[in-house]
Structure 1
Amino acid sequence: SYKYSFSTFFITIQALTSLSLAGLDVYHAMPIRIIDTIVGSVIAWAAATYLWPDWRYLTLSHTAAQTITANGRYLDAILDQLQNGSRDDVDYRLTRRQAHESTAALSSTLSDMSSNPKKYQDRLQDGFTLLKTSYALTGHISALGAYRDQVRIDGNDGFAPYAKLTHHIAELLTQMPQTDPEAFETAMTQIRQEFAELEQNTQAQQDHILKHQLDLIIRQLTPCYQALHRQADVEAV
């Protein structure tokens, strides 16, 4: 499944051995077989690279970036429903599915890479950090989504500060792959200040639940950003 070059090499030996057992001239067939192998390898490489690319480990940072931005869109969709009421429409379910599928794609990519740890040892650690934070983000965002009905039923007019903070977190997640360190720190400072203001005004049980989930999401932002951009730097080199 993983050692394609080795398997191709030994299949060539197997083909030549079979020809020999069949009583054919191996030395006459060998050049033709080598040419066939080279042509087939070129066709397979072109198809796998351009027609049906499945070498996601070659662009791990891109796969990770898609996962983070998908979580940002998922959080933004939940914010919309926290404000306007819970509804399982097609757009919401599609956004939720994309967030879970992108996290699963990142997990699959790292699983493939971990089968050859020596080759990818400089990328696996940050990759697994990204996977851990991505699963945590998806889980915390989903938990916040499970609370959509309660905000609507309670009719809490004090949700506006939570909406502002949630929007800033979702925006930062969506733009994280393109955000430079200075802009990220500025955004994090703003998010922390808004969260500190919420902590001072927490009163109802609903406020405690919302604040707790947002706190868990905020804690994942910095390690996620650091691992994502270290991974991009490695690929750039």
Structure 2
Amino acid sequence: MPPNQRLVTIEDTRELMLPSFQWNWVPLLTRNANAEGLGEVTMLDLMVTSLRMRPDRILLGEMRTQREAEVLFEAMHTGHSVYSTIHADTAMQMIRRLTAPPMNMPPTDIESVHLAVVQYRDRRKNLRRTLEICEILPGAQDEALSVNVIYRWRPRDDTFDKVGEPTKFLKELNLHTGMTKDEILADQKNRAAILKWMVKNKLNDINSVGKIMSMYYSQPDEILEIAKSSLAASKVI
């Protein structure tokens, strides 16, 4: 995300960390009630407050209740870019959790989700991997929501398979940016080249990643040329 955009994060306990420079970040934390039962600040309180801060992006640490889900999806409908986490093994299970009690969210709201990224922890090998990346597709008439799996992790050889092609995501990008499919795929290829260069140069600490992200949004051609030329990271960081 561009570092000049305002990001509001909402958590119970401070866990998220952002790069230490050039970020317009407003971290909000919940607060328990005092001995008299006063002064409690809930996630719902903070979500409502965050909408008054003119955020570009809102990140909710974990969605737990129906009311939190309602406010979160309302933020999406009012044009905010929203991110959150929920416990589920797959994208389809996420849909079932959101539509079943106690959340009971209508499928028409869940259609607003662009991508579901499922994380998996292999406790035997102490690895954390992205299990799948999926689109949430609307059902025809009264049909249920469906999932379009784009990428899935293969545990046997620790690789990723491209399972399907994005459809909804490309349409949304075209609608809001005017970019054609070829332009979107070319941009994706350029970003992949930068990420591969970062992996090769072991640029994986939060501030190094943040600096490269900042350079990409301010000087995209320059950082892309550096990546394609395989220059040493010391020339940049």
- TM bin, normalised by shorter chain, reads under 0.3
Structure label with greater radius of gyration: 1
More strand per residue: 2
